[in-house]
Amino acid sequence: MSSGESAKPWKAVVIELKAGVTGEQCQATPSLNPPIFTTRFTNDTAKGFLLQYPPGAYTAGRTLNTLYLLDLPAHLSRLCSSVSDIKFTVPPPQSDVDSGQVVTCPVVTGESEPAEPAVVVEAMSPFRNPEELPKFVVPLMKKALAEWLASSVSRVVGQTEAKVTVLITYSSKEGAKLVAHCDELIQPKAEKTDVIVYGMPRKNATAKDSRWVADRSALEKYLSPTINEVILTDPHLNIYEGLTSNFCAVLADASSGGKPYVACAPLEYVLLGTILRMVRHVCEQESIEFRFEFPKASEAAIWLGAFITSTSRAVLPIRAIHLNDGSPPIELPSTCETINIIKRGLRKEMLDRVSPLVTLDDIDQIKRGAV
């Protein structure tokens, strides 16, 4: 029962689907305290949670007005496509000894692709089916959010927002695993931020693979209270994306009399975030041209502005760009009307793209320990 643990000051909750449960069983369970889930409370961050499991496909969604999840269909679609792109293969025996556990390692499509064992193909097939995946994931996310909200009186509906992270992976000891982590959504307090250009692009950005969570750790040391993101570039200073964000620059089109347009790295090189999808739609509605072309860090001094997008940041304008070559930071214009228009439009777009996830009755059910 969760009620015994709910009085403890845990920061997060982890919900795991028990082995052998079908999508129909998930959908058909009216109670939020069914025997198909296991619940544990933790102080681990979403990053710490992801690193506890074998690498796999994940997505991280945020609530809006506490009870609603932002762009749920996009998260389900991305999760399904990511788990389809990742091939889970058994590592050599020596790897098992070194890691201390028997797990599988994902190989993203496009790399060398050893065939998945038949048992893996069968176990992962429901999560690679866009019709079946929601039957598992939506009840899991609902359970995670309701448990987190019910576990502390300080989590008041309408006054707090949550982040729900879902991971699908495979362990050769335990089989397919579907787990969710829910904690408070931490949003930047500053209206602008600095970023630093440091690091090469990830090897594969088409799948949201939790291996990246471990790979980026070495670059996170460059973050600080004033530097909110590390920007990845190639040797030509083409800007790809941030460690946990998409990057956009606002440039003036000389061929159109200096008309502003938004530039973002081509989609084959970056992971299209849910907020960036909305930004594109806002630009379309506001007749702002959006181009998939690399912004160049070497040209930042002539930009009209720049911003990063992510679940927690929404649209966060950039104050200055640090090139990490000893040169002074490049300060961007203090105001950019194009970014202001996008921010205003995004607020409406977000409200239009929410899906109800839990109700007040759901939270009360958890508190009562109803079965």
Whether residues 316 and 214 share a domain: the answer is: yes
pLDDT given for residue 173 in this prediction: 86
Whether residues 364 and 254 share a domain: the answer is: no
In a domain, 244, yes or no: yes
pLDDT class of 213 with cuts at 50, 70, 90: confident
pLDDT given for residue 92 in this prediction: 52
Whether residues 124 and 198 share a domain: the answer is: no
Query: What is the value of pTM for the model shown?
Result: 0.89
Whether residues 20 and 158 share a domain: the answer is: yes
pLDDT given for residue 227 in this prediction: 95
Whether the per-residue pLDDT at 304 is higher than 90: the answer is yes
The tokens of 236 are what? 């030509």
How many domains in the chain?
A: 2
Whether the per-residue pLDDT at 343 is higher than 90: the answer is yes
pLDDT given for residue 108 in this prediction: 55
pLDDT class of 251 with cuts at 50, 70, 90: very high
Q: Are 109 and 325 in contact (CB under 8 A)?
A: no
Amino acid symbol at 267: L
pLDDT digits (tens, 9 = 90+) for 82-139: 999 998 886 655 444 344 343 445 555 555 556 788 999 999 999 999 999 999 999 9
* Range from 101-110, 178-187, 300-309 carrying the lowest mean pLDDT: 101-110
Whether residues 201 and 330 share a domain: the answer is: yes
Whether residues 40 and 154 share a domain: the answer is: yes
**Percentage above 90 pLDDT, the chain:** 73
Q: What are phi and psi of 63, to 5 degrees?
A: -90, 165
In a domain, 177, yes or no: yes
pLDDT given for residue 2 in this prediction: 47
Average pLDDT rounded to a whole number, residues 264-283: 95
| 3-class DSSP string for 308-351 | EEECCCEEEEEEEEECCCCCCCEECCCCCHHHHHHHHHHHHHHH
In a domain, 307, yes or no: yes
pLDDT given for residue 6 in this prediction: 45
Whether residues 167 and 284 share a domain: the answer is: no
In a domain, 2, yes or no: no
Beta strand extents in the chain (DSSP E only)? 12-17, 37-42, 57-64, 68-70, 86-89, 105-108, 162-171, 175-184, 193-197, 227-233, 239-242, 246-253, 259-264, 289-292, 305-310, 314-322, 330-331, 354-356
Amino acid symbol at 227: I
Whether residues 235 and 178 share a domain: the answer is: no
Whether residues 161 and 31 share a domain: the answer is: yes
Provide the β-strand partners of residue 170.
176
Cα angle: 199, vertex 201, 205; to 5 degrees: 145
In a domain, 325, yes or no: yes
Buried b (16+ CB within 10 A) or exposed e, 243-268: bbbbbbbbbeeeeeeeebbbbbbeee
pLDDT given for residue 124 in this prediction: 95
Q: Which residue range forms the structural domain that includes residue 54? A: 12-185+356-368
Give the CATH number of the domain where residue 309 resides.
3.20.10.10
In a domain, 136, yes or no: yes
- What is the Cα–Cα distance from 219 to 246, expressed in whole angstroms? 16
Mean pLDDT of the chain: 89
Whether residues 226 and 162 share a domain: the answer is: no
Higher-confidence residue: 152 or 110?
152
In a domain, 93, yes or no: yes
Q: Are 253 and 259 in contact (CB under 8 A)?
A: yes
Whether residues 251 and 304 share a domain: the answer is: yes
In a domain, 323, yes or no: yes
Q: Are 87 and 116 in contact (CB under 8 A)?
A: yes
pLDDT given for residue 320 in this prediction: 97
pLDDT given for residue 22 in this prediction: 87
Whether the per-residue pLDDT at 342 is higher than 90: the answer is yes
Higher-confidence residue: 205 or 2?
205
Whether the per-residue pLDDT at 181 is higher than 90: the answer is yes
Whether the per-residue pLDDT at 26 is higher than 90: the answer is no
Higher-confidence residue: 104 or 51?
51
Whether the per-residue pLDDT at 162 is higher than 80: the answer is yes
* Range from 154-163, 214-223, 249-258 carrying the lowest mean pLDDT: 214-223
pLDDT given for residue 357 in this prediction: 97
Higher-confidence residue: 206 or 58?
58
pLDDT given for residue 27 in this prediction: 78
Whether residues 168 and 221 share a domain: the answer is: no
